Structure 1
């Protein structure tokens, strides 16, 4: 195996073994390699199970994804509160999306009190689009912090992450 393959395997292994570790730092490959691998797995599971297995897989990777995002933000000397915010906003969006479709289905089936369903739909609409608007404003900043290179010197969150790149031997 070459260096790139080793790094991909090591990054994905670290994604799972450090699933609850929000302290310390992670490099860009430690975030982005698991991201694209999980996208492929998610797509494959969605195709073979009509979305059921991909939904379960999404629930399984929530904590490891949060942890590696927090460590990646630490690598560029940013607080993990940005990761907390983005994950909570994503969960709110998902719940609002599900409630919206359940509300539409219930309103379609029921011929009873349509005022209740109209109010519920309106409240859900404001929650969904309000959260989506806030997330749309903040997401570019979070993405920028995840993409930039980390501090090469030790920072408030430790001396691993991008600091270790200087010590790594790239020759074979």
Structure 2
């Protein structure tokens, strides 16, 4: 089984926006947590610069307000792709999108219930509820407040489960949501090509040479021949009335 290289820091942020509303397929662990790191860096940098701008006279507070507004716009723009990325991370663990969607629904419901709790319990600040004897305000908890506390507890439990799922490794095999983005069943990289067997040198049929003369014989015929009778020693040269310096093989 071969493991693909992990998604890079910049590549993960690019995939985050390219898959803006992609609730299908799978996303591996590195892709998810690189994006979370991007969010932390952007939010931290914006917050630090905004705090510094507050202490700069005249234009500083104005710049700080603009930065906070940009951060709010970024958070709203990243809401849907964050949910889509979490769903794909659950798909990578062979789990449905029920829990991520359910956590979002609970968060919206909690904000509504908490807002209603503030409204219903806000009249305790009026003078009619002021106890002049001990100069304190009597707070009357409403059902909205208790409901918001219950929802908050459930949301915390679900977020813990979501966190555990996001730190788990990818499912090693393909599932109903697609192939694994991290593992493959091949022994090597998918783009690796193995050497093909080379064709044999001697082939039959139409590819056979039309010449009936063996290759070795043709090679010998093409090579120049040497006359061994030209190689003589000194005695032969003297007997033949030839000078020794005329023989190139003497020395």
TM-score of the aligned structures, taking structure 1 as reference length: 0.74
Match runs of 1:6-155 below 5 Å: 7-47=8-48, 48=50, 49=64, 51-97=68-114, 107=123, 122-155=142-175
RMSD: 3.3
Q: Distance in 1 between matches of 2:41 and 2:18?
A: 20
Q: C-alpha displacement at 1:46, in angstroms?
A: 3.8
Q: C-alpha displacement at 1:91, in angstroms?
A: 2.8
Kept in 2, the 8 Å contact 1:26–1:71? The answer is yes
The answer to which structure has the higher helix fraction is 1
Q: C-alpha displacement at 1:62, in angstroms?
A: 0.8
Kept in 2, the 8 Å contact 1:42–1:58? The answer is no
Kept in 2, the 8 Å contact 1:43–1:54? The answer is no
Q: C-alpha displacement at 1:103, in angstroms?
A: 6.5
The counterpart of 1:163, out of the listed 183, 186, 192, is 183
Kept in 1, the 8 Å contact 2:171–2:180? The answer is no
Q: Any unmatched runs of 5+ in structure 1?
A: none
Q: Distance in 2 between matches of 1:69 and 1:99?
A: 29
Task: Classify 1:59/1:157 alpha carbon distance in 2 versus 1 (closer, same or farther; 3 Å).
Answer: same
Q: Distance in 1 between matches of 2:70 and 2:119?
A: 20
Structure of greater relative contact order (alpha carbons < 8 Å, 6+ residues apart): 1
The alignment partner of 1:161 has SS state of coil
TM-score of the aligned structures, taking structure 2 as reference length: 0.53
Q: Give 1 or 2 for the bigger CA radius of gyration.
A: 2
The alignment partner of 2:142 has SS state of helix
Q: C-alpha displacement at 1:124, in angstroms?
A: 3.3
Task: Classify 1:91/1:46 alpha carbon distance in 2 versus 1 (closer, same or farther; 3 Å).
Answer: farther
